[in-house]
Structure 1
């Protein structure tokens, strides 16, 4: 369960005032969480033990049919390996979130999360109430609590357990970078965020290994013209321009200081 109020979290990130925290919780292995975040909010995920694997889905908060598109996130930037400076795109060519900091470098935008069938084969069970729940089953629960269904769950991206593609096309699991690493995402438009903390589907260990994940979000500002990230690549600049045009036409371009909302039930 999240800490309420978030400002009572005992150790805010360095440089972040406690009163700016809007979401704070530790998600144990085999569990999930979700929240609606205002534009400009920064979301910091921390792998406490080196065994967390944060599978993440993003949706435009009031237009959930616009959602994370892992394929476009990879192909638009000609880069399958997520890290600092990468943009997480929707299928509309708009930026949902940007990766502003990364001390892990062990992520995956290709494999998605675990499924009921796969977990049942590997561990004997994959249902949400079991000791070995599948990521997709947990995503279904998080989606339902935000008015979404199973058909609204696209392939996810995952942080802290890496995969590299070898010359012959094999997906090689590279595991984590160790305890205490973190990744920070910046919401570039209002977002619904779903997170499932479950073992990576390519993790070769026979046991269901998944450690705790710290989830902290705090008020900040979205990427703007003049920021280095805005013009880092031609593709990224186009995606930011698409996002700005969309927000302008909806009259919400400057509404990034509104408090964050929650639909956690």
Structure 2
């Protein structure tokens, strides 16, 4: 009969764990963020607060401060960053896609576009965009749709749905399925024709990026999954790079602040709320 010694078992486990020190993956957060090998041009690495490469079919999440700049990069041309935003102080305030489209009178996302909550405040603003291929109409993929199309929708499977990944990310912030509204997505575009037909634009190609600025402290959830309107016969997804750094929100005097009467009201509501809480 073999006798197992607990101290030997624990010691071996510790040695095995420590042997993994220094191992890296292509898809992981960079710690510290300043160690990222992909720091965006013009950004001081010392100001980075988040740096990560998200795997195809993967997800990530983070709480970021007001004024943080959040840049998403599509290095291979197949990323599709489905994004949800919540007020980190009061997460029942969340992204409202209908208001995000209605307030700027524009259904297609691009530079200068505020991302609105249902409380009439700007949660974030798109401040730079080299892709121009984004979507505020379809939301993300569901388990039912992926099961019907690919035969699988599990978060750890070959064809994860965006909804399944959002549920995992949301749970880490105390959010439940009922807290998840429709999302927006970046890097795969659609257009609606005069007859209502959907035109699939797909990706603008590798090497494009989009940058947001947080107008309030935010919970950010990102699912990097295939767009539900993508006609590709197989499940298609590529790596997504994420970098965030300290900065300033949209303030009076910025062209974005006074881009329209509706935008000005949204930014005034945001400023009023932020200053009262500060």
Give the TM-score range, shorter chain.
over 0.9
Shift of 1:75: 1.1
Among residues 97, 101, 114, which one is paired with 1:87 in the alignment?
A: 114
Among residues 152, 157, 163, which one is paired with 1:130 in the alignment?
A: 157
1:73-127 Cα shifts (integer Å, max 9, x gaps): 0011111000000000000000000000000000000100000000001100001
Among residues 130, 135, 142, which one is paired with 1:115 in the alignment?
A: 142
Q: SS of 2:92's equivalent?
A: strand
When normalised by structure 2's length, the TM-score is 0.89
Who is 1:231 aligned against?
Answer: 258
Who is 2:97 aligned against?
Answer: 70
Q: In 1, Cα distance between the equivalents of 2:225 and 2:275?
A: 38
Report the more deviating stretch, 125-134 or 87-96: 125-134
1:139-164 Cα shifts (integer Å, max 9, x gaps): 00000001101111100000000010
More helix by share: 2
Shift of 1:11: 3.2
Q: In 2, Cα distance between the equivalents of 1:169 and 1:77?
A: 21
When normalised by structure 1's length, the TM-score is 0.93
Q: In 2, Cα distance between the equivalents of 1:51 and 1:249?
A: 42
Answer with 1 or 2: which has the greater Rg.
Answer: 2
Higher RCO (CA 8 Å, separation ≥ 6 residues): 1
Who is 1:102 aligned against?
Answer: 129
Equivalenced residues, count: 251
User: Where has structure 1 moved over 3 Å in runs of 4 or more?
Assistant: none
The answer for unaligned runs of 5 or more in structure 1 is 253-265
Question: What does residue range 22-61 of structure 1 map to in structure 2 within 5 Å?
Answer: 22-61=49-88
The answer for unaligned runs of 5 or more in structure 2 is 1-27
Who is 1:188 aligned against?
Answer: 215
Output the aligned Cα RMSD: 0.7
Q: In 1, Cα distance between the equivalents of 2:274 and 2:73?
A: 30
Question: What does residue range 136-151 of structure 1 map to in structure 2 within 5 Å?
Answer: 136-151=163-178
